[in-house]
Amino acid sequence: MRRYFGIEGSINAFTVAFQVPSLVRALVADVALSSAFVPVFSELLEKGHRARAWRVASTIFWIMALGLTGLTALFIVLAPWIMRPFGYDGADEELVIGLSRVMFPTVALLGVSGVIVGILNSYDHFTVPALAPILWNVAIIGALVIGLPFFETDTDRLYLYAAAVLGGTVLQVLLPVPWLRRLDGSIRAVIDLRDPAVLKVFKLMLPVTISLGLINVNLLVDTFFAARFVDPNLAPSAIDAAFRIYMLPQGIFSVAVAAVLFPTMSRLAARGAQDELRDTVSLGLRQIGFLLVPASAIAAVLSVPIVRLLYERGEFSATETDIVAASLAAFAAGLTFNGTMLLLNRAFFSLQTPWIPMRVALVLVALNLVLDTALFSVGIWGIPLATSIVNIAGTALLVWLLRAKLGRLGGREIALSYGKIAVAAAIVAGVAYVVWDAVDGAIGRALGAQLVSVGAAVLAATVAYLIVARLLAIRELNALLSLVRREPV
């Protein structure tokens, strides 16, 4: 997409149009719904109430399908007023409104998906739900590569892009359905509003959606500041381009760890096994640090070559590389803390006390507003820096509050692990930059050469990290391998 559109001009209208349905989806559908649903569904299964669990699942499925379809229709009608605060006018305003209307139905689709994914995760099925978003990406890439040559104007091309997002979402919803049918129950045409468990899901959902929707709320706030106060034809897409790279290690590492541990934490909480729950949270925090601290270091020191390799071709120029790389480096400072917040939020959800992270999320949204106001004047990268500071503050608050709930989380052990990991990550950053600089200087910057130089740097950094982790006796190396093999740590 960056090859075809770059980050300047009308692509910024698409970025803004995508953010609003993306926020609504995060607040009322998809992962947020799944996170409210899993503890209740898992508790019913744990207690042997299988038939009731599936009746509750069916009820939530149909309520979300019907309710979010109505909400989607409302947002489509109100799109001109919803999009107006971003400050676009004339043809750009019409484009923002039109694109948002095409993408709003993803809200209803992913509401249904949230229930399906929640059921599969409760049965410890993670692979297919994890592959579904990859199919979403493949559908979009295919539509752009095959379809864009048939359209001449940027406006028509952007509408194709929006339609591809919608089509990819349909495929994402449908992919896990065959696996759902292999379980010991099924979604039926029933709505049972009398079951207290149904009400419990929705009571949990309000604070959960606000807590998990934090990153999307803050991204929308960031987009608002970028469009209104920095540069409406450059800043929104520059930040979004950096954000996509920033989220890649999140999706690969922290989301995976949190997804695997969340059903376990929910079962432990249902049994009242607080010591085991505390150990699981501590293990998860250390695993996320083991994976994301070096990723953060590499993203910071190789921000320019990474952005150049991924984006710099077609409409994306060298000047745009520098702008996006600065934003990526600023995002990288908070990468690990965004991952730890993800796990800590789920720890509270497993305890069915989601109001605590919800209050934290509201405080952090306010803090993000203050920091965006203070930092947008330093340049586009000031807005991602505000996000990183918010992530650090959020992790500190959540750890403090979870300790009050569970007692000590093994803070000394966590601090020791993070100290060793930080040392290893510093060595890794140096290795990555030295290797990249040497190879880049030797073979140049053709696309193939960049693949070699960046690939060699990342490979060398990975090998160096594993060696240093072994030498420093970082326990998380073995713990992570145990988790992958599903062995006791």
Instruction: Count Cβ atoms below 10 Å from residue 273 Cβ, excluding itself.
Output: 14
Is-contact 149 3, C-beta < 8 A?
no
Is-contact 415 270, C-beta < 8 A?
no
Domain match, 322 and 357 both: yes
Domain match, 189 and 337 both: no
Domain match, 336 and 473 both: yes
pLDDT value of position 247: 87
pLDDT value of position 259: 75
pLDDT value of position 120: 87
Domain match, 169 and 44 both: yes
Tally the domains of the chain.
2
Question: Judging by beta carbons within 10 Å of its beta carbon (0-12, 13-18, 19+), is residue 246 exposed, middle or buried?
Answer: buried
Domain span at residue 314?
A: 213-489
Which residue bears the tokens 């989380």? Answer: 409
Domain match, 301 and 183 both: no
Domain match, 180 and 227 both: no
pLDDT per residue over 259-281, tens digit each? 778 778 888 888 888 888 888 88
Which residue bears the tokens 């160096």? Answer: 464
Among candidate residues 205, 224, 256, the one where a domain is terminated: 205
Which parts of the chain sit beneath pLDDT 70? 28-35, 208-215, 479-489
Among candidate residues 205, 224, 249, the one where a domain is terminated: 205
Domain match, 179 and 299 both: no
Please give the C-alpha separations between residue 175 and each of 36, 117, 211, in angstroms, as whole numbers.
Answer: 22, 11, 27
Domain match, 400 and 436 both: yes
Question: Judging by beta carbons within 10 Å of its beta carbon (0-12, 13-18, 19+), is residue 194 exposed, middle or buried?
Answer: exposed
Domain match, 106 and 251 both: no
Domain match, 233 and 199 both: no
pLDDT per residue over 125-146, tens digit each? 878 887 888 888 999 999 999 9
pLDDT value of position 489: 44
Question: Tokens for 256?
Answer: 């995976």
Domain match, 226 and 168 both: no
Is-contact 296 418, C-beta < 8 A?
no
> What whole-number distance in Å separates Cα of residue 226 and Cα of residue 233?
9
Domain match, 351 and 464 both: yes
Among candidate residues 161, 181, 205, the one where a domain is terminated: 205
